[in-house]
A and B are shown apart, each in its own frame.
Chain A
Amino acid sequence: MDIFVAKEVTKRYAAQTALNKVSINVPENSIYGLLGPNGAGKTTLIRIINQIIAPDEGELFIYGEKLQPKHTAMIGYLPEERGLYKKMPVGEQALYLAQLKGVPKQVALKRLKLLFEKFEIQDWWAKNVEELSKGMQQKVQFIVTIIHEPKLLIFDEPFSGFDPINATLIRDEILELRKKGASVIFSTHNMASVEELCDDIALINKSKKILEGSVSDIKQTYRSNSYELSYNGYAENFKSLLPESFTLLEESNVDSLRTAKIKLPFGESPNALLQLVLPHVEVHAFKEMLPSMNDIFIEKVNENRATVSSNLS
């Protein structure tokens, strides 16, 4: 079941269209990556999901119910630009923001105590926010985002500003939240973390969704039938072993092992390649080269740019 659905959401500002009929489906208990270059419309979509701004067209549903103001208590939002009241003590502020989300004071107090301990900032409870380092402020903000145990979490670049240790802490927490039943919309430019965390993604470019699906499916779709072969022997002319239709992308020599990257024609089985080379070389490793999310991102955005400009001309 999809916890969150956006149907053909459109938002126009005076001169430009920020979102053009964008639809997304966030499955329950998953991490959904919202990707796209800067200015693509991700933040607009996130703000619409948070009901900060209203869409011009389109509908939004949470648990099958039309999105309404009362649903804000089910959503936790960590904006890209973090901010807290600078001259207010950390604990008091966290308590206030939790109550704003409808958590009773005593419950909030209990949860905050636990979370402050978990994130090792319990000593900072009575300090003013401006006394905290940036990383600590980020931790406070993260706690504030999850304090009301939302069903749907929206993280906009959650790892920016964290050192590797704290970034891992946050990542583990996100994974744990998913395990507990929350769904996450995750907006980022960090493709490595997308591959690591996301189950599904949507790629938005120039206010339109240009790609969506599960990360593994997308990778399958974008595989190019290329393989990496590590072998020993037959150093002189590996290329001569291959038929014309096979492309040798790259050849390298690391230590005593040689590595070749070969692209096979569409529909050709990797077994054909192995059969060709086995009589001549000693195979140490053989694997398919799957495209990284980074490659797919760049390829799709560039392809989109090309079609847009060709449409214009």
Chain B
Amino acid sequence: MTLLGPLLMAGIFIVPVIIGMKSHTKHDIMVLDETGSFQGKFKNNVDDNGLIFKAFTGSPEAGKDSVKTGKFSTLLYIAKPTENQPPKPIMFSIKQPDINIKNYVSSIMDKEVEKQKLTEQGITEEQIKAIKSDIAITTIKINENGKEEKSSTELAMILGYVSSLIIYMFIFIYGVQVMKGVIEEKTSRIVEVIISSVKPFELMMGKIFGIALVCLTQVLLWIILTTSIIGVFKTVIPDKYNPTKTEQISNQHKVPVTGTQATSVEATSSNKQIGNDILTGLGNINYVQELLMFVFFFVGGYLLYAALFAAIGAAVDSETDTQQFMLPITAPLIISIVAAQAVMQNPDGPLAVWLSIIPFTSPIIMMVRLPFNVPAGQIALSLALLVVGFLCTTWIAAKVYRTGILMYGKKVNYKELWKWIKYKG
């Protein structure tokens, strides 16, 4: 776990870059152009997308036969269109051609047809270039002091999602660990020896805090190891691991490439803009606040859930009996991680606000909202409720724990649990 976790986390960042680098296999595409106006417009670009275009001379039937016999993989057939109709290209291949080829071909043809139409209207190529624009929005946050900060929505999303994912995972993993620990003590019967020395409440809290420390150590290790693995990767392949470059690669197929050098440079520069935004955004994040909040919601959420997991462990005789009690506890966790997606789209909507205040979902949802600047009042309310929440769950858990830990061979249901909670003394 200690090593595998950081490797996985680093993998999440690194693998897309590697895929971006290596995904293009060479593709030979024969072009049979009856219109004659697209010949030479398809650029051979082995490095970027692995496509090699070659002109094909002969009848469409002969071309199809060649595809069938495997002489080449793909035939692009552009039949002569009827008057004033756009050309209707057909792609013949044995395998389903991938989306990148389709997108590339249609974007080139779109551009070319557009250009021809414009030229017919008497607009020159220079004029077209002058019209072309590439808009990238710069977002600037103005805080209460009137200070302006360049921000990055993308970065806010990534930061929020990653931190909430970490909280979710660790609550789950270590909550279950608390539960298993309690079950182990109960089934091995050592619990009676121990609670003749310490109070059941002390034993329960000891278990929860002990595992919390293991958990924090683990998170710390993960953060350190993940950043160092990414760091090493960055120095090994400095050119490819660069936000600008990554953006460029992933945007390659979205931004229409016109085929002329000039526009492709423009596209790259606009991508650079987003990359720069992320970099300046990184510099403008309030790390202290972010880290403090992370630790608080992490610890608060863990304590809230760990107490409930401990109560389950005490109530059952073996791990197989935990199912019926696990569901109501894991449901809010799973709901919050699912809702996190929607919250990211609309971080100030009513769903987001409510989920970030309810203690059972707030540790995860608030982390998603935090980079989008949440009003201080809401944060304070959420924090206060989280504290109240974990005091409540701990109080209830202690009651269940105290009775359950000495109860063997009894099939426990919710009614029984309620009775335990009501026992006084």
Residues in A lying within 8 Å of B, measured CB to CB? 14, 47, 50-54, 56, 69, 72, 75, 77, 79, 81-86, 97, 100-101, 141, 144
How far is it, in angstroms, between the C-alpha of A101 and the C-alpha of B194 when the chains are bound?
9
Flag if A101 contacts B197 (CB, 8 Å).
Answer: yes
Known: A72-B197, A97-B193, A100-B198. 6 other contacts (CB 8 A): A56-B425, A72-B198, A83-B192, A84-B190, A97-B194, A141-B193
Q: Shortest 10 CB-CB distances between A and B: which pairs?
A: A83-B189, A83-B190, A50-B196, A77-B196, A79-B192, A100-B197, A81-B189, A83-B188, A54-B425, A52-B195
Which residues of chain A are near B198, meaning CB under 8 Å? 72, 100
The answer to whether the Cβ of B26 comes within 8 Å of any Cβ in the partner chain is no
Given contacts A47-B406, A85-B188, A100-B198, contact A77 B419 (CB under 8 A): no
Counted as pairs of residues, one from A and one from B, with CB atoms less than 8 Å apart, the total is: 53
How far is it, in angstroms, between the C-alpha of A155 and the C-alpha of B419 when the chains are bound?
31
CB distance from B419 to the nearest CB of A (A): 6
How far is it, in angstroms, between the C-alpha of A82 and the C-alpha of B195 when the chains are bound?
13
Which residues of chain B are near A53, meaning CB under 8 Å? 406
How far is it, in angstroms, between the C-alpha of A81 and the C-alpha of B186 when the chains are bound?
11
Chain A residue at minimum C-beta to C-beta distance from B202 = A69
Residues in B lying within 8 Å of A, measured CB to CB? 184-185, 188-200, 406, 419, 423, 425
Which residues of chain A are near B188, meaning CB under 8 Å? 83-86
How far is it, in angstroms, between the C-alpha of A204 and the C-alpha of B155 when the chains are bound?
71
Chain A residue at minimum C-beta to C-beta distance from B425 = A54
Chain A residue at minimum C-beta to C-beta distance from B195 = A52
Sampled A-B contacts (20; CB under 8 Å): A14-B423, A50-B196, A51-B199, A53-B406, A54-B425, A75-B196, A77-B192, A82-B189, A83-B188, A83-B192, A84-B193, A85-B188, A85-B190, A97-B193, A97-B194, A100-B194, A100-B197, A100-B198, A141-B193, A144-B193
How far is it, in angstroms, between the C-alpha of A83 and the C-alpha of B185 when the chains are bound?
9
Which residues of chain A are near B193, meaning CB under 8 Å? 77, 79, 83-84, 97, 141, 144
Chain B residue at minimum C-beta to C-beta distance from A154 = B196
CB distance from A100 to the nearest CB of B (A): 4
Chain A residue at minimum C-beta to C-beta distance from B419 = A14
Which residues of chain A are near B197, meaning CB under 8 Å? 72, 97, 100-101
How far is it, in angstroms, between the C-alpha of A85 and the C-alpha of B198 when the chains are bound?
16
Chain B residue at minimum C-beta to C-beta distance from A69 = B199
Which residues of chain A are near B199, meaning CB under 8 Å? 51, 69
Residue among A47, A56, A79, A83 with most chain B CB within 10 A: A83
Flag if A52 contacts B406 (CB, 8 Å).
Answer: yes
Chain B residue at minimum C-beta to C-beta distance from A99 = B197
Given contacts A52-B406, A72-B197, contact A81 B192 (CB under 8 A): yes
Given contacts A54-B425, A56-B425, contact A79 B189 (CB under 8 A): yes
Which residues of chain B are near A86, meaning CB under 8 Å? 188
CB distance from B406 to the nearest CB of A (A): 7
CB distance from A85 to the nearest CB of B (A): 6
How far is it, in angstroms, between the C-alpha of A251 and the C-alpha of B191 when the chains are bound?
55
Which residues of chain B are near A75, meaning CB under 8 Å? 196
Residue among B195, B200, B423 with most chain A CB within 10 A: B195
